[in-house]
Chain A
Amino acid sequence: DSGVTQTPKHLITATGQRVTLRCSPRSGDLSVYWYQQSLDQGLQFLIQYYNGEERAKGNILERFSAQQFPDLHSELNLSSLELGDSALYFCASSVGIGPTEAFFGQGTRLTVV
């Protein structure tokens, strides 16, 4: 158990819908990262927050947005969903902003039908 909690574990929704994925980082961790893993794209970095502020952005679509709340949990919002958004979404956390160990959750498997 990494200490990072992601909910829900599985999500099935229809095209065009909007979903919210939630991540609770390890106690004391200030950085949160989101990744998307699909079969053909591998692990793609989406976005990173540190203590509530966005710090790095990767290949995140405009239909996707995220935020980190004052209690440090984070949410990833996916809207106007397409079949190609079906993937595993991982959240990770780390204690600070320097090079350090990042802890990954078990992921949310999103299926868009």
Chain B
Amino acid sequence: DAKTTQPNSMESNEEEPVHLPCNHSTISGTDYIHWYRQLPSQGPEYVIHGLTSNVNNRMASLAIAEDRKSSTLILHRATLRDAAVYYCILSFSGGYNKLIFGAGTRLAVHP
């Protein structure tokens, strides 16, 4: 399974954009990039996923580098509720959506 590297922690202020980076230099052409987050005392929650093109949904945007060796999750306006651990995960397209979680990035949001 290809690995991802994320910063251990990041901080943001409320209502400011947040850019969460993820490096995945060993990504293969058929690996999808997924982002999940886990709020305190809850199960992980899907945020977004993509393959090559940038993706947007109501929760966030995913910017994927042209060489696909890195990606950035963008929260456009952070709220206190966005404080969570964010996981960047790769899944092989033929691998039954097997999601292997790393340590993630703990995001703190300040009022």
Where the two chains meet, the residues of A that have a C-beta atom closer than 8 Å to any C-beta of B are: 2, 4, 31, 33, 35, 42-45, 48, 50, 55-56, 58, 90, 92, 94, 96-107
Contacts and interface: CB of A to CB of B under 8 A. Distances in A.
Nearest to A45: B100
A95 B56 CA distance: 21
> Taking chain B's interface residues, is the majority helix, strand, or loop, or is none over half, making it mixed?
loop
A11 B47 CA distance: 30
Interface of B: 32, 34, 36, 38, 42-46, 49, 51, 87, 91, 93, 95-104
11 contacts: A42-B102, A43-B38, A43-B44, A45-B99, A45-B100, A90-B44, A98-B93, A99-B91, A100-B49, A102-B46, A106-B42
A31 B43 contact: no
